[in-house]
Structure 1
Amino acid sequence: MRKPRVAFICVHNSCRSQMAEALGKHLASEVFDSYSAGTETKPQINQDAVRIMKDRFSIDMEETQHSKLLDELPEIDIVIKMGCNVICPFLPSQYEEDWGLDDPSGKPDEEFHRVIDIIEKNMVDLSRRISEGEIELQL
């Protein structure tokens, strides 16, 4: 049986969803495969996010990730919306939730750390819920 595929989505796929993809790979790769995407792309991942993730977790997102569109993803089992403040993108899945995170782009480092702390906490919880069968999926 394959691992569930989890997509972290937002509009631009340049900051929150990229950090979530990186943390999913870092913290939960034994439970699920992590992806991120958006309805628009940016030429590069948010450089503050890149710097802070590298400092905090030794993860170089520019080495392993790039901004992607929703239609570039494989079939997804779980969609996590990062919090769009407008209409979030739609991606078919078996399960969906919205983490409702504010975009830290253009804000001080403390805001990035706050958002990363929430993503990390949510990621551990999501991994636990999948492992314990609280989220039922047909794989």
Structure 2
Amino acid sequence: MTMLPKVAFICVHNSCRSQIAEALGKHLAGDVFESYSAGTETKPQINQDAVRLMKQLYGIDMEKTQYSKVLEDIPPVDIVVTMGCNVQCPFLPCTHREDWGLDDPTGMDDTVFSETIWTIRDKITNLKERIKAKEI
């Protein structure tokens, strides 16, 4: 049995963009890679706008399957995707690293939040295709 590559979506607080990416990675690309998310700090709960919109758009209840984690809580990974921390992004050893440069939608309206979710969806789909094609 072939082991799927492990992808970590990393942000400082692991409460919004990285959580969305983990959920969409599992939902859209679970057949190609394993998804994890983590940060250098945690929040007591996942961003509630992210939770609400992910339920609304994809039927995914992130609060049932995910929680805020620090880097030490996830296994060693092959690929690290940083979300665009606007500060020094956390470091994890890996064989491939990329930054998606996403602005944090926390505190923004549903339109901005939804656009961020759709951008993450598109980037997950692209990552899945690049991994399948062995470009990564």
Correspondence 1:96 to 2:97: yes
Deviation per residue, 1:87-109 (Å, 9 max, x gap): 00001100000000000001101
Correspondence 1:2 to 2:14: no
Correspondence 1:71 to 2:72: yes
1:1-139 correspondence to structure 2 within 5 Å: 1-135=2-136
SS in 1 for 2:68: coil
Instruction: Please give the alpha-carbon distance, in whole angstroms, between the structure 2 residues aligned to 1:115 and 1:90.
Output: 23
Instruction: Please give the alpha-carbon distance, in whole angstroms, between the structure 2 residues aligned to 1:94 and 1:111.
Output: 32
Deviation per residue, 1:21-63 (Å, 9 max, x gap): 0000000000000000000000000000000000000000000
Instruction: Please give the alpha-carbon distance, in whole angstroms, between the structure 1 residues aligned to 2:134 and 2:87.
Output: 31
Deviation per residue, 1:91-130 (Å, 9 max, x gap): 1100000000000001101111111111011000000000
Any unmatched runs of 5+ in structure 1? none
AA matched with 1:115: T
Q: TM-score w.r.t. structure 1 length?
A: 0.96
Deviation at 1:6, TM superposition (A): 0.2
How many residues align structurally?
135
RMSD: 0.4
Any unmatched runs of 5+ in structure 2? none
SS in 2 for 1:68: coil
AA matched with 2:19: Q
- Superposed structure 1 runs of 4+ greater than 2 Å apart: none
SS in 2 for 1:96: strand
Instruction: Please give the alpha-carbon distance, in whole angstroms, between the structure 2 residues aligned to 1:42 and 1:15.
Output: 10
Deviation at 1:2, TM superposition (A): 0.3
Deviation at 1:16, TM superposition (A): 0.2
SS in 2 for 1:125: helix
